[in-house]
Amino acid sequence: MKKLFTLLVLFFVSKVFIVAQATLEGSIKDNESGDPLDFAYIAIYKNGNLITGTQSDIDGNYVISNVDNGTYDVEAKMFGYTTERKTKVVLAGGKITRLDFKLSLEGVLMQEVVITEYKAPLIDIDNTTTGATVTAEKIQSLPSKDVKAIAATTAGVSTIDGSDISMRGGRTSGTIYYIDGVPVNDASLIPHSEIDQMQVITGGLEAKYGDATGGLISLTTKGPSQRTAGGVEVETSQYLDPYGYNLVSAYLSGPIIKRDGRSVLGYRLSGQYKYIKDSDPSAVVNYYAKQSVIDELEAEPVTDYKGSKVSSGLFLNGDDVENVSAAINEPVQTIDVNVKIDAQITKNLDVSLSGGLRSNNQRYLPSTNDNSSSFSSKSWALLNYNNNPYYYEDGYRANLRIRHKLGKQGIDNLVEDGENKSNSLIRNAYYTINVAYEKYKTKTEDFTHKDNLFDYGYYGSQNVEYEKVVTTVDTSVWKGRGIKYINGSFSRFCRL
């Protein structure tokens, strides 16, 4: 009663997260006769680690539930038969994957293991949703490394230059994101190298996803490996184009504590650094005033012309500007760090602690449609690119998951040597407790004033002397919006 009361309290005081688990089922038969093989072993491996397993029943059928999303190796074996292993088996959350095995009789002196690569079926027998599942192997081969751009490879999903995702014409606010079963505000906190599986659901959402009015993107991160391993990936276009794309990612994974040859406490640490000189190349010509011209205008903004004060900018010509392929002073720099620690406390109790942080800063040219920006419009690109403002984006997340399996399941089967060894009435039951925290913030600041808030919008008490300036317009050449005579001067109303 005390244990039941404790479980009820935890259920009511904890926030409920949706953790869609995968299920693997199938049959094991003799390859020659087609007879079912009872009490054959089925084991699931990930990164060399034994995750779980079971035995087939008297009809040769097996079921393994409560498996995290991801890509696994599945092995079937039985005494006197060859062992068969199927690699790269994709298990998606909330779906049943069927995997059948046919084992052949083994020779007396030779032990053989048959390894085949898993091929996904054309039709999912229990699929009630539309969308796609993107594996780590496919992500690695895609040209884009942005999470939202990868999701946009699914039919019905669209994004403009990596911005917020719209599914089947719905609002971008209707798309929700999950990382390891926990809802998050921004899925881009996970670099592409740490995604084990991305599940994109564009329609037919189940009732458990109550907040999704458009679609859903669920990410499963990679976990520790059985042996210590690491890797480094470098991509660059520094000397191939003017846009300066540079990406460096690295990871280190392995066990911390082993028991009976198995990792019971492991880690995975990863980091990624990205620098792009121009992350949004223009499809048209970029014109910028030469730096020497800008220095002259700042030194002498007003010029005497035939006895009148006129703006020095009126004398600019084609020789004062230059065509530049990449934008000036619009770099993007991003740093991502992620860590994941998995612990197998007992056979029925496991704990996973994961977290990540991101630091992103860039200088950008404000758009006239950017309502969040208090800076000038994009028209200042010609003469004011030296003062492009800063944009900062920082965020971090942490997630603690405790999963407790109740009753007999996995390799601890009810049957051993053909006899019932347990009187347990509970089987394949579990509960999960998730505790998550996320913080995300952005900041935009002026290049000169930065975070000196009292310098914004107040210039102080100044003695100002105004001088009338003549502006000339050749109406036979000017094709813009109308010219009006207001308060003794001509004013042009146009949008540059």
Quick check: helix, strand or coil at residue 51?
A: strand
Token readout for 170 is 């719905």
Residue 474 has pLDDT above 50, yes or no: yes
CA distance 279 to 326: 9
Q: Is 177 exposed, middle or buried (0-12, 13-18, 19+ CB in 10 A)?
A: buried
Residue 293 has pLDDT above 60, yes or no: yes
Contact 268, 222 (CB under 8 A): yes
Taking alpha carbons only, the member of 476, 290, 494 closest to residue 484 is: 494
Contact 244, 237 (CB under 8 A): yes
Taking alpha carbons only, the member of 314, 316, 315, 320 closest to residue 471 is: 314
Is the model more confident about 125 or about 135?
A: 135
pLDDT band at 258 (very low <50, low <70, confident <90, very high): confident
For the segment 34-44, the average pLDDT, to the nearest whole number, is 87
Return the percentage of the chain with pLDDT > 70, whole number.
Answer: 77
How much is the pLDDT for 292? 92
How much is the pLDDT for 491? 46
Contact 244, 280 (CB under 8 A): no
Per residue in 193-229, pLDDT (tens digit) is 888 888 888 887 777 676 677 788 888 888 888 889 9
How much is the pLDDT for 342? 92
pLDDT band at 336 (very low <50, low <70, confident <90, very high): very high
Question: Would you give the distance in Å from CA 496 to the centre of its chain?
Answer: 37
Is the model more confident about 161 or about 110?
A: 161
Is the model more confident about 473 or about 140?
A: 140
CA distances from 52 to 42, 74, 198, 266, 272 (A): 9, 10, 22, 16, 32
For the segment 22-50, the average pLDDT, to the nearest whole number, is 85
3-class SS shares of the chain: helix, strand, coil, % to 5: 10, 45, 45
pLDDT band at 291 (very low <50, low <70, confident <90, very high): very high
Return the top range by mean pLDDT from 318-322, 448-452, 489-493. Answer: 318-322
Residue 112 has pLDDT above 80, yes or no: no
Per residue in 343-373, pLDDT (tens digit) is 988 888 889 999 989 899 988 776 544 444 4
How much is the pLDDT for 366? 62
What amino acid is encoded at 439 in this protein? K
Is the model more confident about 304 or about 470?
A: 304
pLDDT band at 480 (very low <50, low <70, confident <90, very high): low
CA distance 80 to 63: 23
pLDDT band at 482 (very low <50, low <70, confident <90, very high): low
pLDDT band at 269 (very low <50, low <70, confident <90, very high): very high
For the segment 239-257, the average pLDDT, to the nearest whole number, is 91
pTM of the full structure: 0.71
Residue 376 has pLDDT above 50, yes or no: no
Quick check: helix, strand or coil at residue 387?
A: helix
Per residue in 380-421, pLDDT (tens digit) is 778 888 888 888 989 889 999 998 888 765 544 444 444 444
Per residue in 55-108, pLDDT (tens digit) is 888 888 888 887 888 888 899 888 888 888 888 888 877 778 888 898 888 654
Range in 52-56, 124-128, 308-312 with the lowest mean pLDDT: 124-128
What amino acid is encoded at 358 in this protein? R
Token readout for 63 is 């079921």
CA distance 108 to 186: 57
Residue 466 has pLDDT above 90, yes or no: no
Name the maximum alpha-carbon separation found in the chain: 111
